[in-house]
Structure 1
Amino acid sequence: MKNSFPLLLLFFPIIILAQGPPPNAAGETINITGQVIDQETGEPLEYATLVLQSVTDPNKINGGITDGKGRFDVGTTAGSYNASVEYIGYQTYQVPQENFSESTDLGTISLQIAASELEGVEVVGEKTTVEVRLDKKIYNIGKDLTTSGATISDALNNVPSVNVDVEGAISLRGNENVRILINGKPSALAGFGSTEALRQLPAEAIEKVEVITSPSARYDAEGTAGILNIVLRKEKTLGFNGSVTANIGYPTRSGITANVNLRTDKYNIFNTTGYNYRDAPGNAFFDNTYTSGQFDRVIEDRIYNRRDKSFNTNLGAEYFITENSSVTGSIFYRTSKDDDLTENTNRRFGGAEGNSTTFRTEEEGEDDDSYQISLNYVNNFNDDGHKLTADLQYSNDDELKLSDIEERFTQPNTDLIEMEDVFENEKENEYLIQADYVLPMEDAQFEAGYRGTFEQEITDYRVSTLNLDTGQFELDEGLTNKFTFNENVQAVYSQYGNKFGNFSFLFGLRLEHTQLKGELESPFDRSDFEEEIGEDVLANFDKKYLGLFPTLNLIYEFDEEGRENVSLGYNRRINRPRSWYINPFPSRSSRTNIFQGNPDLNPAFSNTFDLGYLKRWDKLTLTSSIYYQRETESFSRVQEQTGQETSDGIPIIRSLPINLATENRYGAEAGAMYNPTKWLRLNGSFNIYKFSSEGVYNGIDYGTDNSSWFARFSSKVNLPAKIEWQTNAFYRGPRNTAQTETKGLFGINLAFSKDILNDNGTVSMNVNDLLNSFKRESFTQTDFFTSRSEFQWRQRSFVFSFTYRFNQPKKRNGGRGGDGGGQEEGEFEG
């Protein structure tokens, strides 16, 4: 009970405010009651909204929502009001300038369906549908059963064009250089340059995903593949409402997430809090052969046991200054504690003293704390889209890793080979300043803005090794350093869009200045650094880049309803290397394989063209596109010999990122959404691409040609007794680089759900990776070693979930007045 007291203090004001308005000393308190029903069916309409606007003071607004029987009971002061009853998808019922001098029963109010809005209601409520805009595709996430109890990372794997591999890396059209945004901005919710946070946050938080393959100038130019903008749900229903979701599964996992919201016409207070525990076992297998060293062949069997505990909360408030302006402040906090154990059995063959076996354990404890403070101001000058927005944001992340590594023989003896202690502390700070201005002009629109991001990451890395002769730990000078990396980006942009009949265009230009700065601190002599990386490489550097990034998006609609259109997009983008790609000191997943950053790495630049087509029928929606991208100074990871061996004679192989000159990528994709009947929905997509790269490094030609494809299919069936059944299947075809071939990858997820408690609750069960087949198999060949490997990040899992909603519509239709179709701030619709 003692631990619960702070939470009670947090929610106490919300609970009190939710009880309704107190008596007004200026006038008598009265109650307005009634019932709202569907005119055709006579069924009560839950979550319909009664709005009472004072005639004498239009800024004074009161109201409430209907209960499960369609009834409302709203307390207010006596006076003259414009009353209305609204429900999304229905025509509004209005009672103008009514004088309510005493408690009044409005009786039964019948609302008629608005035919023009009917399709929109169905879109938001149940289906996952696609909208095509000038610069992106918007996938409104419907009731996807397979993401119940899952994470945002799992949900992204169900979005067309998007791929999430076995290690959680996200790619767009097969390209991993994709920019992840939350609500249009870089965010601690998406992690600092990694996707780890997305594997801990609940999928239920997502309202829609914007796949931006041809970003307009309003977006920063980072990400040659494009941008994924994850838009989180924002409840618009008046009053106190929310939901609680709990889940439990096997392998051991459990979690609970609560989402509460208190909304009035003057303010909106929101909070999402969640706790998760996961035990995620995985495994890997490596079969390596060598042309030099004491051993001809080494086989590694790895078992991963990961125990992750995480807590996250997001608390914020939106205050409506006027009818057209508001300010929102929020703070997000996430803490996680991981205890991972990796067990590695090594069988070595062909040694001078015969075959041998070793056993290596790595115990890693990781504590990660991050928080983000955000302030947003919006001023809608009018209802036509004339708007000014401003954002301030500060993010902080502190990640501490402590690892104990031990390796010893198990055959022919039990002698200790090596023991290490590894200390790694990463601290990151990021500031964001942004302002955007939108000026509509009849069918045209002008936009301009500024964005500045200032980021610093400090990595403190130390390795201590046990001296087998003295029995004392000694600091490894070659693996100990402190590296500070700064990335500062400032940008201004403007863009102009116009519409001529069925033709629309959006042209923009963005000017960005990038500063990449690295500083190496080491208490030891690093005169041999040039020999390890290259003679012309400097660990301390300060590089500046100034670039223009033009964008052009065209769309032609064949009909007035927008059911068929063709689009063409062009954009120039940049890929800036992250800190771990630049940090020159190696980190090790094993004694024989290391990853080493390259301080000489420069940004890559790309030019992309995209031609798309969309066609809607009554029950079928088809999307398709073809694209071409040319990237210069593209990144590639190569493996090479270090010339060093472990203490027992195994060659050490290094993986190093380089600028590989030029890469050309061609591709085509198609997607279909088909709803032949009310009980069956089908969804599928297919993407095929080819890329060719040219480049030489250290006299070796790493150029390659590669073709691959991936496809996904989803079916949803409504069974009797209100049971829903969904199946998602995914396949990624084989692919290869200059040194590595990777086999195809297949996975299938299965889910069932049923609504209970008068549709206020939902129970569900889903199976992730039903066939336990989501494994990456690859083969690497060079002139000095070969490696066959198999890696499975997470084994098949079962999850049972329960969701309870209070004062909240199940179909997420939004609230009073809707949300305008989910249009982003400052967006130009052709």
Structure 2
Amino acid sequence: MQSKKFLLLTWMLITLIASVTMAQHSGTGNGKINGLIKDSVSGAPLEYATITLLEKTSGKVITGNTSNSAGRFTLSGIVSGHYRLVIEYMGYRSYVMEDVFVNSNANITIPVVHLYQSSKALAAVTVTGQTKLIDNRTDKMIYNAEKDLTSQGGVAADILRKVPQVSVDVDGNVQLAGNGSIRFLINGRPSTAFGSSIADVLQSIPASQIKSIEVITNPGARYDAQGLGGIINIILKQSTTRGVNGSVSLTTGTRVENGSFNFAARSGNFGINTFISGNTRLAVTTPSSSSRHSSDSTGSSLLNQDGSGRFKRHGIESGIGFDWTLQKKNVITGSFNYNQFGNNNLSNLHQQQTLRDLTGATIFEQQIVSNSGNSYKFHNIDASLDYKRTFAKEDQELEISVNSSFGHSRTLAHNEQFMLPNDSLLYGVSNINPGKENETQIAIDYTQPFTQKVLLGTGGKITFLDINSDAAVQSLHTGLKEYQYDGALSNNLNYHQKVYALYAELSFPVAHLFDVKMGSRYERTETTSFYSNAPGQAAAPGYNTLVPSIYFSRKIGDKQLLKLSYSKRIERPDYGDLNPFINTSDPKNITAGNPYLKPEIGQRVELGYSVDIANIGSLMATAFYRHNGQDIQPFVKYYTDLQVGDSIYHNVSVSSRENIGTEKNTGLNLFADLHLSSKLGFRTNVFMFHRHIINEIDKGNDRSSFNYRINMNATYQILKDLAGEFFGNFNSARNEVQGKYPSFTTYNIAVRKQFWNKKGSLAFVAVNPFNEYVNQRLVLDGPNFTQTSLRKIPFRSFGLNFTWKFGLLEVKKERETDNSDLNMAP
């Protein structure tokens, strides 16, 4: 039934596209003007340059556009006639073509336009532009976070909640198009920080540090195949403007405190940028309760828990980078970053265990107080060096890059349990778990244009991943009343993975109907591992993965884009999932790794449509279908008796990651960004999908569910330098293979005042001001057990953010030359 609904929605979408297309093209010409805009010194493409076409005699504006990230632009729907073409860019001299003749059926490509920077010295200039909130491109979507008001003073997770197809739960866990398997990048590069705790990283990057977020749901052949949900690339702020400039951002609040400092300097062909930012999530107390009912052939068991935990986290990120252009065609860039993250949690629980026989009579009852705590610390160094060579032939490029990330982690955990009413110590365990994770990638990419619109991209990459971990566990010896080393629970591992990759992709037009980008990526994965307490050290055979991808896109005029794409992806289980270490910090709720996990394979088809509606705004619709085989999900099993080493644990649940079977998702995303007046703006996003899970572990217990997410954002320019904004978000309950994860509602209110000629601003942000807690009720059920739990998470907060931008732009004076002659040169 859901598939029929999806087909109906898709058909309605296609019909709408056809109707809009026919309406917009009625009575217009078919002439087109194409062009490319570059900086005259560096040869770099200029994005967001303004192109205006005017009637030659009357000066009336006929049409206009802006250049894309590659510096390219297209003006279409032009009737026959003589025109004046004007190209403008902030800080550069305008370029004018006084007489451009267009035939109504002609497709004209003007010579490359090289803009020269203005000869004037611009002192303390603040550059502002009307960058679109969402930039929808052929293979990715860009969310321009700098335009976001309510996220000021927040963190990366707060911005991600506003991105179409992305959802973030109350704990900071992220899903893209309903899938949590995401490849996270920072400035286009991987980091070992994401391999340790994605939630910690996203909760520790201040929103003021983020320029934009790129979302790639169907990555092409050039990208790594890892990550079923796709890729999220967080672009941090850095300036490419000449001179000295920077910014400072400070936030104080009831739950979050953070700050960031950015500095950039550029002279001639050399530029340097540096930043440092930090975040503290202040300690909060979270009340919780749970109830688990289980049964077997002898009777039933009821475990009730009630208590609270006190949690806090922190993070620091810093980095320095440079770019150096040599003889216009050679660019060397490099970066060096240091990051540190951590969290701490202390909890106190009251547990009551009741056992009954088959008649319902109580045969055992026990009350326990459990005190536990854990702390996690991680720091890493990321380093990169890139060389890019351009050639005389347009779009011909060679790029060689080396990226390395070196991470160190340390986890401390302990638990003590006291029997009531005498407070006698009956259980104790503590562990220290240091680890190292090093990753290095060496890549080469080459692009060869055959014609202006036919490009071949090819390249290769080698990835080396090395992980070492050592968990030393001390257990309480009740007879001796002292802690001793526990070899059954202790574990050390050595994990080494190599991935060799080759790819090729070809971009070309099919007549004037649509553009195609198709490619394939081959990856060879080889893994060697040693787990000290695994039953056996079976060799892991290497395996080959071939991941094809294809994009069809059609630009309808200057304002509409239609896309159809397909990609195949893989999710390799990480060492944390594979490590057979058994965590008994809570002896009633044990967690363990699974060294027998297989890679998960996913395939995804996506149909998208976007349109810019003059001064009103933009609309975007995306429909998709995804199929995951060997689907990896958390899975809980209940044991009446479980032996670990020499110890036997009674009436316990064990949670691990399993290949549960097959998952199918069909969904639709609708996004609108509307400017209702010169002062009032409104945007909304609706994401809905149907999920069907075929359970191969607990056969017959398949799951089908409908999931959705709705958010809306309203902005109002109260005064010239005073703006207000409201953002509300609702995530429906999420159904997985064993249960129902809770829904989530949040809303933000923000007011920002600008001053110092808009170089300074002060923003007040309130999050859930009328609700102290977000209640999270979780329901799980599996073979022989059901479990419900409730957490009351403090979410209400108030914050004050101060931002100051500073700088002196010194633009080098160029030799006065006839700009039009240079730009018309072949």
TM more than 0.5: yes
Aligned to 1:316: 321
Alignment match, 1:750 = 749
Q: Is the 8 A contact 1:539 1:599 kept in 2?
A: no
> Residues 296 and 471 of structure 1: is their aligned pair in 2 closer, same or farther, counting only changes over 3 Å?
same
Equivalents in 1 of 2:700, 2:578: separation in Å? 22
From 615, 631, 643, give the equivalent of 2:611: 615
* Conserved 8 A contact 2:414-2:585: no
1:365 is displaced (CA, Å) by 3.2
| 1:348 Cα deviation from its structure 2 partner | 4.0
Displacement of 1:209 in angstroms is: 1.6
Q: After TM superposition, list the pairs within 5 Å mapping 1:54-93 onto structure 2.
A: 88-89=89-90, 92=93
The code of the aligned residue for 2:273 comes to F
More deviation, 458-467/282-291:
282-291
Which one-letter code corresponds to 1:92 in the other structure?
Answer: R
State the alpha-carbon separation in 1 of the partners of residues 592 and 736 from structure 2: 19
How far off its partner does 1:108 sit? 11
Partner SS state of residue 216, structure 1: coil
Mapping for residues 625-664 of structure 1, pairs under 5 Å: 625-644=622-641, 650-664=650-664
Q: Match of 2:521?
A: 510
Aligned counterpart, 2:581: 585
Any idea what the Cα deviations from partners look like across 1:4-30, whole Å, max 9, x if unmatched? xxxxxxxxxxxxxxxxxxxxxxxxxxx
Cα distance in 1 for residues equivalent to 2:208 and 2:717: 21
Q: CA distance change for structure 1 residues 589 and 302 in 2, over 3 Å: closer, same or farther?
A: farther
Range with bigger deviation, 218-227 or 180-189: 180-189
CA apart distance, 1:448: 0.7
Structure 1 residues 191 and 146, CA, compared in 2 at 3 Å: closer, same or farther? farther
Instruction: Describe how 1:158-237 pairs up with structure 2 within 5 A.
Output: 158-188=162-192, 190-192=194-196, 194-237=198-241
- Is 1:298 aligned with 2:303? yes
Q: Within 1, Cα distance between the matches of 2:602 and 2:641?
A: 37
Do the aligned partners of 2:403 and 2:441 also contact (CA within 8 Å) in 1?
yes
The verdict on how the C-alpha distance between 1:205 and 1:299 changes in structure 2, with shifts beyond 3 A counting, is: same
CA–CA distance in structure 2, aligned partners of residues 782 and 659 of structure 1: 15
Residues 347 and 748 of structure 1, relative CA distance in 2, 3 Å threshold: farther
* 1:790 equivalenced with 2:796 (yes/no): no
Output the amino acid matched with 1:220.
D
Contact 2:294 2:302 in 1 (8 A): yes
Cα deviation 1:343-369 (Å, max 9, x = unaligned): 223244568687654322223233322
The 2-side partners of 1:648 and 1:577 are apart by: 29
TM-aligned CA deviation for residue 794 of structure 1 = 5.1
1:726 maps to: 725
The structure-2 alpha-carbon separation of the partners of 1:417 and 1:389, relative to structure 1 and needing over 3 Å to count, comes to same
CA spacing shift, 1:661–1:716, aligned 2, 3 Å:
same
Amino acid at match of 1:767: A
CA 90–418 in structure 1, closer or farther in 2 if over 3 Å, else same? same
Amino acid aligned to 2:268: D
- Partners of 2:119 and 2:494 lie apart in 1 by 68
Q: What amino acid maps onto 1:455 in structure 2?
A: L
Kindly provide the CA deviation profile for residues 267-316 of structure 1, in whole angstroms up to 9, marking residues without a partner as x.
Answer: 11111112333324252321222326998432223423233343321012
- The corresponding residue for 1:258 is 261
* Cα pair 2:640 2:650 within 8 Å, conserved: no
Partner of 2:243: 239
Rounded to whole Å, the distance in 2 between the matches of 1:149 and 1:815 is 33
- 2:505 alignment partner in structure 1: 495
8 A contact 1:193–1:578 mirrored in 2: no
Which amino acid letter does the alignment assign opposite residue 281 of structure 1?
Answer: V
Kindly indicate whether residue 598 of structure 2 is the aligned counterpart of residue 602 of structure 1.
Answer: yes
Q: How many residues align?
A: 694
Whole-Å separation in 2 of the counterparts to 1:659 and 1:259: 44
User: How far is 1:185 from its partner?
Assistant: 2.4
Aligned equivalent of 1:468: 478
Return the offset for 1:159: 0.7
Structure 1 CA distance, aligned partners of 2:803 and 2:708?
37
Shift of 1:611: 0.9
1:476 CA drift (Å): 2.2
CA contact (8 A) 1:237 1:816 kept: no
CA distance in 1, matches of 2:259, 2:274: 14
Q: Look up the match of 1:680.
A: 680
CA distance in 2, matches of 1:242, 1:383: 36
TM-score by length of 2: 0.78
Q: Look up the equivalent residue of 1:716 and give its one-letter code.
A: T
Aligned equivalent of 1:272, options 261, 272, 275: 275
Query: Contact 1:344–1:361 at 8 Å: present in 2 too?
Result: yes
- Please name the residue that 1:803 is paired with: 803
In structure 2, the CA distance between the partners of 1:682 and 1:638, relative to structure 1 (3 Å rule), is: same
**In structure 1, what residue type is equivalent to 2:541?**
K
The code of the aligned residue for 1:196 comes to D
Could you tell me how far apart the structure 2 residues matched to 1:355 and 1:132 are? 61
Q: CA deviation at 1:510?
A: 0.7
Is contact 1:549-1:571 (8 Å) kept?
Answer: yes
SS of alignment partner, residue 580 of structure 1: helix
Output one character per residue of 1:458-496: Cα deviation in whole Å (capped at 9) or x when no partner. Answer: 221122111122122122222111122222211111111
Q: Is the aligned partner of 1:123 residue 2:119? A: no
- 2: CA distance between counterparts of 1:656 and 1:273? 37
Change (3 A) 1:740 1:205: same
* TM-aligned CA deviation for residue 788 of structure 1: 0.9
CA RMSD for the aligned pairs?
Answer: 3.2
CA deviation after TM superposition for structure 1 residue 548, in Å? 1.3
Which residue of the other structure, out of 537, 548, 553, is the alignment partner of 1:550? Answer: 548
Select which of 412, 415, 424 maps to 2:421: 412
Q: Which runs of 5+ in 1 are unaligned?
A: 1-51, 60-85, 96-104, 110-119, 530-537, 818-830
Cα distance 1:452–1:775, how it changes in 2: closer, same or farther (>3 A)?
farther
Name the CA distance, whole Å, in 1 between partners of 2:182 and 2:363. Answer: 49
Normalized against structure 1, the TM-score is what?
0.78
Instruction: Determine the C-alpha separation between the residues in 2 that align with 1:488 and 1:108.
Output: 52
Contact 2:244 2:266 in 1 (8 A): yes
Deviation of 1:744 (Å): 2.5
Which of 447, 462, 476 is matched with 1:438 structurally? 447
Q: Contact 1:347–1:358 (CA<8 Å) still a contact in 2?
A: yes
Query: Structure 1's 302 and 722: CA in aligned 2 closer, same or farther, altered over 3 A?
Result: farther
Q: Is the Cα contact below 8 Å between 2:587 and 2:649 reproduced in 1?
A: no
Query: Whole-Å Cα distance in 2 between the matches of residues 248 and 406 of structure 1?
Result: 36
SS in 2 for 1:431: strand
Q: 1:609-654 CA deviation, whole Å, 9 max, x = no partner?
A: 1111112202121111211112211113221123426999851111
Name the SS for the 1:470 alignment partner: coil
| Matched ranges for 1:498-577 at <5 A | 498-499=508-509, 500-522=511-533, 529=535, 538-559=536-557, 561=558, 563-577=559-573
- What SS does structure 2 have at the residue aligned with 1:443? coil
**Contact 1:745/1:774, CA 8 A, preserved across alignment:** yes
Quote how far apart the aligned CAs of 1:552 are: 0.6
Partner of 1:83 in structure 2? none
Q: Is the 8 A contact 1:294 1:650 kept in 2?
A: no
Partner amino acid for 2:547? F
For 2:578 and 2:718, how far apart are their aligned partners in 1?
54
Query: Which 5+ residue runs of structure 2 have no aligned equivalent?
Result: 1-38, 43-86, 97-117, 357-361, 814-826
Say whether the 8 Å CA contact 1:189–1:198 is kept in structure 2: no
Say if 2:119 and 2:811, in contact at 8 Å, map to a contact too: no
> What is the CA–CA distance in structure 2 between the aligned matches of 1:199 and 1:591, rounded to whole Å?
30
Task: Report the secondary structure of 1:153's partner residue.
Answer: helix
Distance of 2:566 and 2:746 partners within structure 1 = 34
The AA in structure 2 aligned to 1:780 is L
Aligned equivalents of 2:325 and 2:745: distance in 1? 49
